[in-house]
Amino acid sequence: MSADTETAPRAAAAPARRTGAPWVLMYHSVAEFTDPAEDPYGITVTPHALEAQLLWLRSRELRGVSVGELLRARAAGRGAGLVGLTFDDGYTDFLTRALPLLRRYDCTATLFVLPGRLGVDNVWDPLGPRKPLLTAEGIREVAAAGQEIGSHGLLHQDLTAAPDDVLAQELRGSRELIRELTGTLPAGFCYPYGHLDARVVAATRAAGYGYACAIDPGRLAGPHAMPRTHISQADGGPRLRIKQVRHQVRELRRAVHL
pLDDT confidence tier of residue 254, bands split at 50, 70 and 90? confident
Dump pLDDT digits (tens) for 156-190.
Answer: 999 999 999 999 999 999 999 999 999 999 999 99
Q: What is the pLDDT of residue 17?
A: 41
Q: Is the pLDDT of residue 5 over 60?
A: no
**Amino acid identity, position 60:** R
Give residue 234's Cα distance to chain centre: 19
Q: Which residue has the higher pLDDT, 16 or 66?
A: 66
Residues 6+ apart with CB under 8 A from 61: 81
Nearest to 174 by CA among 121, 115, 216, 218: 115
CB 74 within 8 A of CB 11: no
The Cα–Cα gap between 134 and 23 comes to: 27
The fold adopted by the segment(s) 8-251 is: TIM Barrel (3.20.20)
